[in-house]
């Protein structure tokens, strides 16, 4: 049981790390603000979700696990809002560069 949980953790966190890497590559390689935002917000939210999911079997209490899920939800809310605000500022300041 312990080993199964550990394997699950490793696989989930590695997948999460892959999404973070993909998001970062997108940030560096995509041509303009809007596409870079797209890469970052989508990939990083999923990556963080997978990391949290992977850490859940390792948490000592249900309360600690719930706190991690809450952190993920708050990051989702914050990054969705901030990406909207950045996108609006980018559109207002003229053609994306």
Partner 1 sequence: MSDALHLALIALLLALAFWTVVARETFAAVAGFVSYGLLLTLAWVALSAVDVALTEAAIGAGLTGALLIGAASRLRKTEAAARTEWPGRATRVLAAIVASAVAAAIAACVLLLPDPAPTLAPEVAQNLASTGVGNPITAVLMSFRAMDTMLEAIVLLFGLIAIWSLASDRYWGGRPGLAPVYEPNGILAYLARVLPPIGIVVGIYILWVGADYPGGKFQGGTVLAAMWLLLMMSGLHDAPAVSRRWVRLVLIGGPAVFILVGVLGVFVANAFLAYPAGFAKPLIIVIEVALLPSLAVTLTLLLIGPPQRSESPP
**Contacts with partner 1, residue ranges (CB under 8 A):** 74, 77-78, 81, 84-85, 88
Closer to partner 1 by CB, 7 or 64: give it.
64
Helix axis angle, 62-92 relative to 33-55, nearest 10°? 180
Do the beta carbons of residue 69 and residue 52 sit within 8 Å?
yes
Q: How far apart are CA 72 and CA 49, in angstroms?
A: 6
Smallest gap from residue 74 Cβ to partner 1 (A): 7
Place of tokens 């500022």: 89
Smallest gap from residue 72 Cβ to partner 1 (A): 13
Smallest gap from residue 22 Cβ to partner 1 (A): 20
Closer to partner 1 by CB, 5 or 84: give it.
84
Do the beta carbons of residue 96 and residue 34 sit within 8 Å?
yes
Closer to partner 1 by CB, 11 or 77: give it.
77
């Amino acid at each position: 049981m312990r080993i199964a949980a550990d394997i699950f953790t490793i696989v989930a966190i590695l997948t999460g790390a892959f999404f973070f890497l993909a998001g970062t590559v997108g940030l560096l390689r995509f041509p303009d603000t809007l596409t870079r935002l797209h890469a970052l917000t989508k990939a990083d939210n999923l990556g963080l979700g997978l990391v949290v999911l992977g850490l859940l079997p390792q948490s000592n209490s249900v309360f600690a696990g719930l706190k991690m899920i809450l952190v993920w939800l708050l990051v989702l809310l914050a990054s969705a809002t901030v990406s909207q605000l950045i996108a609006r500022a980018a559109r207002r300041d003229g053609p994306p560069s």
